[in-house]
Amino acid sequence: MAQLELLSAGAVKPSLARVIDAFQQKTGHKVNATFATAPEIRKRIGGAAPDVVIAPPQLLDDLVKAGKAAGERVMVGRIGVGVMVREGVPLPKIATVDELRQSLLEADSVVYNHASTGIYLETLFARLGIAAQLKTKTTRYPDAAAVLDHVSRGKTREIGFGATTVIVEGKSKGLVFVGPLPAEIQNYTTYAAMTTADGAAANAAREFLDYLATDVAKAILAETGIQT
């Protein structure tokens, strides 16, 4: 048995937690998972090396170029962007691009993160021609957890954005998943896993990547909102 250190993007946390449980039961290995945004992963990878990193492919490419990651990569899947509000407030209309635009203009505040989702939303709002109107009522946070907390504690008409998997997990915090972005403006972030170059548990890391590619793991991921 080995102690496996895993560093992962936070968007896959709800799904990955179930995969980790199944992997631990099957192999006896212990997985210590840390979740962070992509910018934080870049910073943390420079310190004590985890054994496995799960992140968008571009970030993994950068880690390979820097000599921080090595070996084959396994695709985890892709996650879209969704809309949330707190429980008990009227649901905003978001079925079409025009409805979403109008709902955002009518909202008292808009909340999202600085990670992959937030970067995309910045460009989207500019494309929709509403960036200037939203600027004064937008609040952004480093990670999804803070976004969920803000929306759940809101007092007015807040509209929050995040990875669909994370929003669904937020139901226990009094949040409602309104739905995904309209198909024509949806943005998917893809996630993949790689072993690091300096990880201490190389054999267990490879076992974990092999497990991610199994039908059992893929079924768990699909059930929790990740398109595999």
pLDDT at 157: 93
Among 110, 111, 112, 108, smallest CA distance to 156 is for 108
Q: What is the mean pLDDT of residues 48-58?
A: 90
Domain residue ranges of the chain, discontinuous segments joined by +: 3-78+191-223, 81-185
Per-residue confidence band for 20, with pLDDT thresholds at 50, 70 and 90 = very high
Buried b (16+ CB within 10 A) or exposed e, 172-186: eeebbbbbbbeeeee
Our measurement of the distance from residue 2's CA atom to the centroid of its chain's CA atoms, rounded to an integer in Å, reads 27
pLDDT at 47: 65
Per-residue confidence band for 46, with pLDDT thresholds at 50, 70 and 90 = low
CATH class of 3-78+191-223: alpha beta
Which residues does residue 111 pair with via DSSP β-bridges, in sequence order? 139, 160
3-78+191-223 and 81-185: identical CATH topology: yes
For residue 184, give the DSSP letter.
G
Among 192, 113, 177, 100, smallest CA distance to 145 is for 113
211: amino acid identity, one letter: Y
Q: What is the mean pLDDT of residues 84-104?
A: 97
pTM comes to 0.78
User: 208: which residues sit within 8 A by CB, 6+ positions away?
Assistant: 4, 6, 23, 29, 31, 51, 52, 193
pLDDT tens-digit profile of 108-135?
999 999 988 899 999 999 999 999 999 9
Residue 48 has pLDDT above 80, yes or no: no
The number of residues in the chain equals: 228
Q: Is CATH 3.40.190.10 what the domain over 81-185 is classified as, yes or no? A: yes
H helix and E strand count, the chain: 10, 10
